[in-house]
Every structure is written in structure tokens, then in C-alpha cells.
Amino acid sequence: MTRRLVAGATYRPRWLAGGVPVEGPDEDAFTLAVAAAERLGTTESGRTATIDRLELVGEFPPAIDRMLLEALGLESAEVHRHGPGVEGFAHALNDVGRSPLAPEGAGAVITVDVASARTEGAGPSGAVGVALLFADGPGAELLGHATRSHPPERPPVAAEWIRAAHRAHPTANSSTTGRLGVIARAAPPVLLAEWSRIFPAVEPVVVPWLDPGTGALPSSRPALALRTFLERTPPGDALWLAAIQSDRTEFLAIRGEGPVVWADPVPSLSRPTPADGPFPSASASDLLRVSEGAYVARPRYVENLPSRWRFVADRCAGCGTTGFPARGRCRSCGRSDGVAPIALPREGLTVLAATTIHPGAQPTEFDPLTAAIGPYSVVIAAWPDGPKVTLQVADAPAGTARVGDRIGTELRRLYAMEGDWRYGRKAVVTPGAVPGASAAPT
């Protein structure tokens, strides 16, 4: 069987700085990765695929493996981490597209860029998460990957460069049709001229590293470019991606064999951040915050993650009652045998009550959030079959959520305590912002 790129999804934060999407105060690499992967799960192949490996591209916290497996409900998948940037992306694609997998298995590549983590390069930097699903089926096939080093800040020698393109796509010749996407700050004309001489039927197109609309996205730029080019490349044509960096070029060669399905993008709210810059990263003192009294100890937080992150509830085989969160006992008939876990949908809840917490009325754990955004709203919302959940509202001005609104949810940071971040789902009220995620047994 051949593993092909069959589906993809992009998640862009709803906050803007300098006109570019940046992560909100409760978002980070983990939440962006989950948001992209959850959207991938709304495509037909995403719903049915059994993902047994995850390739991560970007800068992630050390505990990301377990956190992602829990958030995505993948018990036994392997997680491979790759460095940020185009090398990481190329290796991730190579690993997932060409490695032997379990017979029914599928692989996903998740790339994440976080604006506040950017240290290199000039100009605005953005935040985005992209998830790509590789599974058996029609889609885009990875033909090969090659890399060519060159002296720092000097363009590659044209003949060397063409050799690398051949390495990535060994059967290409002068009659091969398709496109070359060059991701570069500046693509030397001599390279493009040589390319057109060798592959006259492959049109080179230059994509700037820094896209004014999305900012510099070192890890996700190739994934986003891939989508753009695949949409313009007829089935059977070859597609090269060449990313020219200061000291190396990465080549990926792909052939479209069928449509790649992309989850609906999140509509931007065009919400500028208060300072029109990325929200400040958490300070050391935030992370070291220690409980003074009531708090959820780490083991209890971890114990509740299936319910907190994936809305796992109790379904009673005896009386049919659904109780949230899962506690292993039926709320209605009191039985503990025959109570099975079921994941409730992440969207399609209805707001029953809404309040806005004004500064001073928040638990002290939320002091940093309140300092960043001011008042926030909290709702109690119900699933169609009855259970209710209490959720903070993300990404919208306080007071936006109203009784009767339909909401979706996103995984977000709650607060830092005793050295690490606590995460949970929050409500999002943007109409149509959240794709339909259906209930699935866990």
C-alpha cells in the first residue's frame, strides 16, 4: 500500500499583531497543534483513519508526546519530534510518507509556529498550526526528499541544485510536467534559468519566506505552500518544493494522484491584540505560582484529562443516562457496572447561562490572564442530550456569549501552577468557527 497525503487542516489564531495572526494569551505550541489536529479529524479520512504515528515540527515543551496523545485520544501512536523549520518538515514528510506502517495505520504531520517563540529574522512573525494526514487512498504521493548544503549566505551551484532535484524525483526528465515552488528570501535567477533548461515543462514559482499576510512561519511555511501548489497542480503532474535557506536547500518531490481534502479554515475575527504585538510569554513567576489553598493537585488534574480535554462522559448501559464528567457511576440509577466512557462532541453545545467575571472576582490563578485581557466570560453550556459543562470563553470580548448561543470549544491554557501549565477546553462563540466533530467511543 502507498501512504499518501489525503487531508490537511490549518488553524490560525484569531488575534492579530501588525496585521498578522499571533497566538492569544491562552495559546501555545501545544494548543495550536491540537487545534490543527482536531480540524483534521473533521475530514472524512480524518474521522476514519487510525493514526499510529505523529511527526511534530516546531518547538514544543518536553512533555508534548503524552499531552498530544491524551488530547487526541491516541493511545498507542508513536510520536517523533523534528526540529523547527523546513529541515524538520522535510524529514517529517519523509518519515511518514515512506516508512513502513501498521497495515491499517496512518500518520500525521503537525507543524506549529508560535509568534512569541520567534527569535530570528526581521519583520512580523505569525502563529499557525498545520496538520497533514497520510493514509492509504487517493491523494498526493511523496516521491522523495533530498538536501544539498552550500556555503553560508552563498547561493547553491546550479548543477548541484539540479542534482538534488533529481535525487528527490529520480524519474523526472525533460518531458516531466508540473511545478516547482521555491521558498526563498531571494531566488537566484541563475538557478531558475538552469531549472527551465533541464525541466522545460515544470514552471518555477517563487514564494517569499515572509508572506505579509501570515508572517514568517519557518516550520509551517512549506506545509502552507504545499497546499497552495497542490491546489494548482493537475493529477499526475510533479510538484517540487525547494526551500532555499542560508546554507542549504531542501527538496521535496510530490505527485498528485487525487484530491487532498482540506478542513474549512477558521474565519479570522481580525482582533488586534491589546498592545498590537504578541501577548507576553508567561514569566518565570507565573510558572512558579504555588497554591495557597484550594487547588487541583497535579495527579487529580491528570486523572481528569480525558473529560477535560476530550469530554469523556459516562454512558450507563442500564438506564441510558449520560453523565459528565466521567466518574464511573451513573448519576441516575447509581450503578457502577455497565458504565462505559463515551466522548461527547466538541461542538454544538448551547449556552444556558453566561456571566462576565470582572477584575477582582477571578480566582487568583487567573490574575495573569485578567491582567492581559481584562474581564472574561464564563458559561454553562449543555449538550443536546442533557449533560452540562462550565467553560471559560476564549477569543471574544467579555459579554459576547449569550444565553441560547451555540458554541464550539478549543483546548487552551488555563493557568500555570507549580511549574507547569494546566490546560482545558474553552468555549468559542464565533459562528461557524468550529467544524463539526462527532461523538466517538473512546
Residues that bind another protein (CB under 8 A): 292-296, 300, 304, 308, 323-325, 331, 352-358, 360-367, 369, 375-376, 378-380, 387-392, 399, 403-404, 414, 422, 424
| Distance of alpha carbon 194 from alpha carbon 163, whole angstroms | 11
Rounded least distance, CB 353 to another protein, Å: 4
Gap between the Cα atoms of 351 and 358, Å rounded: 20
Contact indicator for 314, 334 with CB cutoff of 8 Å = no
Q: Of the two residues 168 and 389, which places its CB atom closer to another protein in the complex?
A: 389
**Residue closer to another protein (CB basis): 67 or 223:** 67
Name the residue nearer to another protein (CB basis): 159 or 290. Answer: 290
Q: Between the CA atoms of 196, 200, 206 and 207, what dihedral angle is there, to the nearest 10 degrees?
A: -140
Backbone dihedral angles phi then psi of residue 273, each to the nearest 5 degrees? -70, 155
- The residue type of 148 is R
- CB-CB contact of 279 with 24 (8 Å): yes
Of the pair 72, 381, the CB lying nearest another protein is at 381
Of residues 200 and 363, the one with the C-beta less far from another protein: 363
Q: Please answer whether residues 222 and 4 qualify as being in contact, where contact means their C-beta atoms are separated by less than 8 angstroms.
A: no
**Can you read off the three cell numbers belonging to residue 146?**
533530498
User: Closest separation between CB of residue 379 and another protein, Å?
Assistant: 8
Nearer to another protein among residue 34 and residue 253 (C-beta): 34
| C-beta closer to another protein: residue 234 or 293 | 293
Given CA atoms 171, 174, 177, 182 in this order, what sign does their dihedral have? Answer: positive
9: which strand partners?
Answer: 131
Would strands 140-149 and 3-11 be described as parallel, antiparallel, or unpaired?
antiparallel
CB of 365 to another protein, least distance (A): 8
193, with CB counted inside 10 A (0-12, 13-18, 19+), is exposed
Closer CB to another protein, residue 71 or residue 191? 71
CB 103 to another protein: min, Å: 41
Q: How far apart are CA 341 and CA 346, in angstroms?
A: 15
Q: How far is the CB of 285 from another protein (least distance, A)?
A: 14
Q: How far is the CB of 64 from another protein (least distance, A)?
A: 21
Residue 394: CB minimum distance to another protein, A: 11
CA distances from 107 to 37, 40, 76, 92, 139 (A): 12, 12, 12, 10, 14
Strand 271-272 vs strand 261-262: parallel, antiparallel, or unpaired? unpaired
Minimal distance, residue 415 CB to another protein, in Å = 8
